[in-house]
């Protein structure tokens, strides 16, 4: 896990002290990764692998991160943890572009929602508006 998180940092000239700070921050976001820091990434559960992928991206301190179906195939407890981390990322000033079919998660975690069908934006609105009137969701998502 630790080796996985450090991937790419050397090429970006990150100092040893800064690497430690970034690792500590990642482990703060995802305590389960700290518990498994010496484990091979491929032996983690699906949800833990998603957390590792997000943590690895965060090591480079991006201003925006794309999460493509981060909850696909995850058990509900892990979905909740992914939702929580999206909130933490937003709080920390990281924009999150979330591609997700889990409507409740998207409405809960998102600020602005775009419904895209076959590559065309069919509807967009603030998440609060769609929580108040979910007719567009029923129209385009069939839920």
pLDDT tens per residue across span 32-73: 999 999 999 999 998 899 999 999 999 989 999 999 999 988
Q: What local confidence, expressed as pLDDT, does residue 98 receive? A: 94
For 65, residues 6+ apart whose C-beta sits below 8 A from its C-beta are 54, 57, 58, 89, 94, 95, 96, 97
Read out DSSP for 57-81? HHTT--SEEEEESTTTT--HHHHHH
Which domains are present in the chain?
2-110 (3.40.50.300)
Per-residue tokens: 97: 């572009």
Q: What is the pTM of this model?
A: 0.83
Residue pLDDT, tens place only, 69-114: 999 888 888 888 889 999 999 999 999 999 998 999 999 999 999 9
Q: What local confidence, expressed as pLDDT, does residue 143 receive? A: 63
User: Would you say 107 and 130 are in contact if contact means Cβ atoms under 8 Å apart?
Assistant: yes
The 3 state secondary structure assigned to 14-51 is: CCHHHHHHHHHHHHHHCHHHHHCCCCCHHHCCHHHHHH
């Amino acid at each position: 896990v630790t080796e996985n998180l450090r991937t790419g940092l050397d090429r970006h000239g990150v100092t040893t002290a800064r690497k430690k700070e970034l690792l500590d921050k990642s482990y703060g976001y995802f305590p389960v990764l700290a518990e498994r820091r010496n484990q091979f990434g491929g032996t983690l559960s699906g949800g833990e692998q998603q957390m590792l992928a997000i943590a690895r991206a965060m090591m480079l301190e991006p201003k925006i991160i794309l999460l493509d179906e981060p909850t696909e195939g995850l058990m509900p407890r892990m979905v909740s943890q992914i939702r929580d981390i999206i909130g933490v990322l937003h709080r920390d000033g990281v924009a999150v572009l979330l591609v997700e079919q889990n409507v409740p998660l998207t409405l809960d975690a998102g600020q602005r929602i775009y419904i895209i069908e076959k590559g065309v934006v069919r509807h967009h609105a603030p998440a609060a508006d769609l929580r108040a009137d979910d007719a567009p969701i029923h129209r385009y998502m069939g839920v």
